[in-house]
């Protein structure tokens, strides 16, 4: 007996944007190899780290009169059927006409138990396919710990730990102190 196996075709970017436009506000969807994937709601510490990153990156951008901008919630078109959304990304400062880009310089993900495998494996490989990406940064939310992958080293893993540590991003010409990234998260009081 033959059992029919229905494998729906991969969703395109245009179909994905139509789909997400019909979803309730506040849902975070990503298009992963043609499949729409709903990310769980982020907790308070996760959101504070995002806010800290955007704030410190904005301050450093202004201090250096840099021509890049850090923003959360923008999709990155890796292929016509793959549009992940990093927690924070850095891209050239030019305004976008859409909610996606293909010129990301740095991607930041805040590690969550539900997304750890995807962030450390799949997204690392997917983002590395983007020619403009120079640094992929994954921050723990339960420790002063950041894992960095740099194009210059073939995206080899580099782990940085410690309350007084800092993150160097040569492509942006800046250094991010962990104390700023993890401010007001509870970790800074330990």
Residue-wise pLDDT for 166-183, tens only, equals 999 999 999 999 999 999
In a domain, 8, yes or no: no
In a domain, 80, yes or no: yes
Give the per-residue pLDDT at 60. 96
Residue 7: band (very low, low, confident or very high) from pLDDT cuts 50, 70, 90: low
Total domain count for the chain?
1
Distances (CA, A) of 4 to 7, 35, 44: 10, 20, 45
Q: What is the pLDDT of residues 133-152, one digit of tens each?
A: 999 999 999 999 999 999 99
Give the residue numbers spanning the domain of 91: 41-189
Give the per-residue pLDDT at 138. 96
pTM of the model: 0.87
Distances (CA, A) of 103 to 8, 92, 96: 30, 7, 11
Domain with residue 68: its CATH number is: 3.90.1570.10
Give the per-residue pLDDT at 32. 82
């Amino acid at each position: 007996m033959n059992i029919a196996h229905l494998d729906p075709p991969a969703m395109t970017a245009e179909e994905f944007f139509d789909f997400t436009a019909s979803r309730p506000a506040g849902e975070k969807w990503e298009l992963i190899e043609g499949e729409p994937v709903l990310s769980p709601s982020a907790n308070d510490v996760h959101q504070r780290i995002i806010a800290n990153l955007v704030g410190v990156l904005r301050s450093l951008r202004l201090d250096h009169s840099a021509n890049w901008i850090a923003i959360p919630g923008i999709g990155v078109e890796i292929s016509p059927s793959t549009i992940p959304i990093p927690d924070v990304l850095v891209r050239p400062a030019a305004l976008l006409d859409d909610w996606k880009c293909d010129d990301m310089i740095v991607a930041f993900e805040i590690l969550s138990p539900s997304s750890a495998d995807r962030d450390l494996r799949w997204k690392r490989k997917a983002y590395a396919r983007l020619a403009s990406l120079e640094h992929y940064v994954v921050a723990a939310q339960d420790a002063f710990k950041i894992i960095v992958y740099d194009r210059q080293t073939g995206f080899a893993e580099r782990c940085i730990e410690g309350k007084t540590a800092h993150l160097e991003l040569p492509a942006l010409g800046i250094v991010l102190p962990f104390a700023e990234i993890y401010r007001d998260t509870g970790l800074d009081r330990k």
